[in-house]
Structure 1
Amino acid sequence: FSRQPAKTLWYDRPRYVFLEFCVEDSIDVKVDIQDYRVIFSCKNADGVEFYNEINFYARVNSKDSQNKHSGRSITCFMRKWKEKVAWPRLTKENIKPAWLFVDFDNWRDWEGDEEVEKAMGTWKELQGRGRSQPPAPICQCGS
């Protein structure tokens, strides 16, 4: 059988690293967030299989990481083990796979950025009350 990597966007924040796997109408979605890597797989409506395995630049807290599935993509947000330390790249290896892109619409210099911190804090608070909707990033998979 043949698999291909999904187009993947990423961006960095003070406490979280965000990933977006761009697969429309995905089914059989599996996301395994570990401390040093993420393994993603799914199929699309045409039966094409997607598989990505990414070894992270640095450690994340897998127990405090989430993913959200929409019709256009699967978004993961991983809590950094060392907060407020910028990641110069997503991957441990200093290479850029052809399927991996920086999400420039969501990327910004976040030093001193309180807006995102408040949004994530609010989400964590709501999650504690039984709601599980993270702050929505700007979906770039369809553009």
Structure 2
Amino acid sequence: MSLNTQIPEVLWAQRSNKDDAEKNVIYLTVLIPDAVDPKINLTPEKLVIDSKSGANAHYAVQIDFFKDIDVEKSKYSVTGRYIFFVLYKKELQEEFWPRLTKEKLRLHWLRTDFDRWVDEDEQEAQPEVSPFGAGGMPDLSALGGMGGMDFSQFGNLGGAGAGEDASDSEPELEEEEEVGSNEKKE
């Protein structure tokens, strides 16, 4: 049985810094659910991925980079939902790449990763992205809790309380007249 080859969705974001190579990176997320034995070939000029999926699908993509990547420094991680890359740009420069790919084409499978993207003029103020992040909830301690709200003041707002039967607190209903009854109620 032959599998149809699909191009996976690819998300990307970048940082640039002319002085610090650690801040001169491309974040690349290749969405391949349940990747089985992915074949990854990273060269300075391109990335080629070929993988089967647990869903009995075949994925393949080739990305020819706008400029060269430092292969030795770059790294990746395969998870159950995607393959995540931190690709280090070979040339240190302050300006962002205008696009990820060498050719100036609109590729339907390539999109901006807005979860990791920062504007070029705001990148120094942004905290570093944890490329292989632990996920979880953000730190909410800076929000200051509930503004000092004391929930004990809401102790008795009516309704059934502890040890009280809910039927005791409801008003009694009047008896209903049967439908079709000819008797008049006095």
TM-score (norm 2): 0.60
C-alpha contact 2:34 2:55 (8 A) present in aligned 1 = no
Distance in 1 of aligned mates of 2:132 and 2:51:
23
What corresponds to 1:45 in structure 2?
54
- How many residues end up aligned between the 2 structures? 123
Gaps of 5+ in 2: 17-23, 136-186
C-alpha contact 2:69 2:88 (8 A) present in aligned 1 = yes
Distance 1:135 1:26, change over 3 A: closer
Q: Percent identity?
A: 25
Runs ≥4 in structure 1, deviation > 2 angstroms? 134-138
Per-residue deviation at 1:137? 8.8
1:34-53 deviation per Cα after TM superposition (whole angstroms, max 9, x unaligned): 10110011111122110000
Gaps of 5+ in 1: 121-133, 139-143
Greater RCO between the two (CA within 8 Å, min separation 6)?
A: 1
| Aligned-partner residue type, residue 78 of structure 1 | L
2:82 equivalent to 1:73: yes
Q: Secondary structure at the match of 1:21?
A: strand
What corresponds to 1:96 in structure 2?
106
Distance 1:55 1:107, change over 3 A: same
Structure 2 residue corresponding to 1:113, chosen from 110, 119, 124: 124
Distance in 2 of aligned mates of 1:6 and 1:137:
24
What corresponds to 2:35 in structure 1?
26
What corresponds to 2:11 in structure 1?
9
Q: CA RMSD in A?
A: 2.0
Structure with higher Rg: it is 2
Structure 2 residue corresponding to 1:56, chosen from 52, 62, 65: 65
